[in-house]
Amino acid sequence: MATEYLYSDLQEFDYHQWNNLHFRHAQQGAEFTQEEFNSIFTDLTYTTALSDGTTRVELLPGGENVNATYEDRWKYTDLALRARLGESVLQICAIRAGMCSIVSERAIGFLTPAELELKVCGRPGLDIKLLRSRTLYAPKEKYSEDSQIIKDFWKVLYEISDEERAKFLQFAWARTRLPSDMNAQRMQLSILEAEDADKRLPTSETCFFNVNVPHYSDIDIMRARILYSIECMSITF
């Protein structure tokens, strides 16, 4: 599972510094000339700020008192990159130790970082077709794929944005992704009959992946109630 750090990795969590370490114009893309470098980086020393924005570390012994020059700018870039990409080594080692206490280190070693992420976090985005194939309807003697309200429900999910679909999953089972293997999972969609259905909101039982939807009179009301419910998931107290 070990992989070499890449320059582009820094871009994923600190675009500003990643861009600065190119020593080039943001718009034109051309590298700074020596004159431009000297006028812009007048006090650049062999130090860099870490992710908390306040902690600064020296990139070489006494680096706080050593100026980075135009001639050795790429040396500075290399050292700054190594410092930033290595600042979480202790935390990552602790995470690895915890994982290896559950799954053998040898087994984890067969996986690439992308494969491990997929196993742990599931696939990004909501595969509606997959979720639909793993959904049960209740009461089962009354509702099926052919019921209009069931069709309306899936139409709403197809029409909303990817971000809203992630919020729906968070609402439905407290996660924003489906697992990598859905064979052992299923969602139950229960349609609730009530005289004042249009005034009610959907509810969920996240431990069981159950979603309860009132029998709304039309799809527009259903869409509005579902969106209201999933947006309220972002409210914290």
Catalytic residues: 207
The arrangement of strands across the sheet holding 187-192 comes to: 135-138, 187-192, 210-214, 203-205
**What's the burial of 146, exposed, middle or buried (CB within 10 Å: 0-12/13-18/19+)?**
exposed
For 136, list phi and psi in degrees, rounded to 5: -105, 150
Dihedral (CA of 149, 155, 158, 160) sign:
negative
- In terms of Cα–Cα distance, which of 160, 157, 149 is closest to 217? 149
Query: Which ranges in the chain belong to alpha helices (H)?
Result: 15-20, 34-40, 73-85, 89-100, 105-109, 113-121, 128-133, 148-159, 162-173, 219-232
Other Cβ atoms less than 10 A from the Cβ of 165: the count is 19
Return the bridge partners of 31, or none: 24
The angle subtended at Cα 233 by Cα 227 and Cα 237, nearest 5°, is: 140
